[in-house]
């Protein structure tokens, strides 16, 4: 299994090996030990461009997922899960606003993005949102991170 990390920002330090290890634990827990994940760490300007280009939304967001297991050509490389793009600027701002550690917020966003790659959804149904939130908390505990306060 490959967890590729492309850190395109320099403002917020990241522990690449620790993130790769945690991502592997998450993928194993989701029953995809051979899955390949690409993680791209960007700033607000970069994610705002992606947000507008692909989702037609203005401004930065915290995380965007690009699943590779959807559509008609999914059988070509079924091990390719997709890309998760995280704005480290927004991550740090959200952590500060919530009074939590930036690293914990980062792992919340990573898990959120990965769950989207696996088809979890929080937008179209409150029931699905509850399922996704429960799975997020389960995975946070599995990698040794504490859930944020409610």
Residue spans of the domains in the chain: they are 3-142
Q: Sort residue 31 into left (φ over 0), alpha (ψ -120 to 50) or beta.
A: left
pLDDT, residue 121, reads 83
Query: pLDDT tens digits for 112-131?
Result: 999 999 988 877 778 888 99
Q: What is the mean pLDDT of residues 36-57?
A: 96
Tokens representing 129?
Answer: 């949102």
Cα-flanking dihedrals φ and ψ of residue 42, to 5°? -130, 180
In whole angstroms, give the CA distance from residue 22 to residue 24. Answer: 5
pLDDT, residue 129, reads 84
pLDDT, residue 102, reads 95
Q: Does the structure show a pLDDT above 80 at 149? A: no
Q: Say whether domain 3-142 belongs to CATH 3.40.390.30.
A: yes
Q: Does the structure show a pLDDT above 80 at 143? A: yes
Q: Does the structure show a pLDDT above 90 at 57? A: yes
pTM for this prediction: 0.89
pLDDT, residue 78, reads 61
Q: Sort residue 56 into left (φ over 0), alpha (ψ -120 to 50) or beta.
A: left
Helix (H) or strand (E) holding 3: strand 3-7
**Closest C-alpha among 4, 6, 5, 13 to residue 88:** 13
């Amino acid at each position: 299994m490959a967890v590729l990390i492309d850190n395109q920002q320099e403002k917020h330090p990241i522990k690449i090996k620790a993130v790769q290890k945690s991502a592997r634990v998450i993928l194993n827990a989701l029953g995809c030990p051979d899955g390949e994940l690409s993680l791209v760490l960007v700033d607000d300007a970069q994610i705002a461009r992606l947000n507008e280009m692909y989702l037609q939304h203005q401004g930065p967001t915290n995380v965007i997922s690009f699943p590779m297991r959807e559509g008609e050509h999914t059988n070509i490389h079924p091990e390719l899960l997709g890309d998760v793009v995280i704005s480290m600027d927004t991550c740090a701002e959200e952590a500060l606003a919530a009074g939590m550690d930036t690293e914990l917020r980062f792992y919340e966003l990573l898990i959120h993005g990965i769950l989207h790659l696996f088809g979890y959804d929080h937008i179209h149904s409150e029931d699905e949102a509850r399922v996704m939130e429960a799975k997020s908390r389960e995975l946070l505990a599995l990698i040794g991170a504490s859930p944020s306060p409610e």
